[in-house]
Amino acid sequence: MTIELETTWNLRSVMASRGIFQTSKLGPLLAERGIDLSREQVYRLVAQTPQRVRLDVLSALCDALECSLDDLVSMKRSTTATQRIAVGEQTRGSIGDLRPLRATVRRPGPGQV
């Protein structure tokens, strides 16, 4: 069984629910809380799903937007069953049913060249 986690970054929608529609408005709010990010970094934080976010940035975002971490990040968990086949066990239609045929080498007869 494989567990897959799908995360969704909701910063833009949280900002919109608070009346903030421009990424340039988020920079000063973070600066008030001691987080100095460039204009480009703030834009990427809002526009793209980040792979890593520092905890102090997350806490500053939650404080500035008066939201919780659950509002910023939502996770969806799904499980998929993986089937394992024991060694020596073959299933119908699998690669184990394909066996090479023995080749027969024939020499050309007299006059067949």
CATH topology of domain 2-80: 434 Repressor (Amino-terminal Domain) (1.10.260)
The pLDDT of residue 113 is 64
The pLDDT of residue 48 is 93
Question: pTM for this one?
Answer: 0.65
Each residue's pLDDT expressed in tens, for the chain with a length of 113 residues = 788 889 999 999 999 999 999 999 999 999 999 999 999 999 999 999 999 999 999 999 999 999 999 999 999 988 887 666 555 555 555 666 677 788 888 888 887 76
- Report how far residue 42's alpha carbon sits from residue 18's, in angstroms, rounded to the nearest whole number: 17
| Torsion 13-15-16-18 (CA) sign | positive
The pLDDT of residue 26 is 94
For the chain, give every domain's residue range.
2-80
Question: Is 13:47 a contact under the CB 8 Å cutoff?
Answer: no
The pLDDT of residue 103 is 85
